[in-house]
């Protein structure tokens, strides 16, 4: 007699596929969001720009929060390159993002969602 096959492996496979697709979509948006901030900071003299967090909200689909750490072309008192944590609110324009204005730096996703909402 033939036993019916279990659906469990297929469900697990689909969950993994959706998770990977979701992560890939976010990283693509993050790359698009970092570009205008990186271009802006490089024009200001930043040597390196590293993204920390990128946060969006479903109820504000055209807004996002991006925190970065910029390394400048000058040194601090210890002789090490000066690093500055920065936060930005971004606005969706077409397929890309533009800087709306700078806000406080945070690595807390909950706080970033509040900043997107407009809370101080």
CA–CA–CA angle 103, 99, 69 (5° rounding): 55
Q: What is the pLDDT of residue 76?
A: 83
For tokens 């969706």, the residue is: 92
SS3 labels along 45-107? CEEEEEEEEEEEECCEEEEEEEEEEEEEEEECCCCCEEEEEEEEEEEEECCEEEEEEEECCCC
Question: In this model, does residue 42 exceed pLDDT 80?
Answer: yes
Residues 6+ apart with CB under 8 A from 5: none
Residue 3 is predicted with a pLDDT of 56
Give the separation between CA 22 and CA 3, rounded to whole angstroms: 35
Q: What is the pLDDT of residues 60-117, one digit of tens each?
A: 999 999 999 999 988 888 889 999 999 999 999 988 999 999 999 999 999 999 999 9
Mean residue pLDDT across the chain: 84
Domain residue spans of the chain: 8-117
Q: Which fold has domain 8-117?
A: Nuclear Transport Factor 2; Chain: A, (3.10.450)
């Amino acid at each position: 007699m033939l036993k019916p096959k279990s659906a469990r492996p297929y469900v697990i496979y689909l969950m993994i596929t959706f998770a990977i697709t979701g992560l890939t979509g976010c990283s693509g948006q993050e790359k698009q969001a970092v570009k205008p901030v990186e271009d802006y900071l490089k024009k200001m003299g930043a040597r390196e720009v590293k993204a920390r967090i990128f946060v969006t909200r479903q109820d504000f689909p055209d807004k996002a929060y991006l925190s970065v750490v910029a390394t400048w072309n000058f040194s601090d008192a210890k002789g090490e390159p000066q690093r500055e944590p920065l936060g930005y609110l971004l606005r969706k324009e077409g397929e890309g993002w533009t800087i709306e204005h700078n806000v406080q730096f945070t690595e807390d996703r909950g706080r970033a969602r509040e900043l997107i909402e407009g809370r101080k």
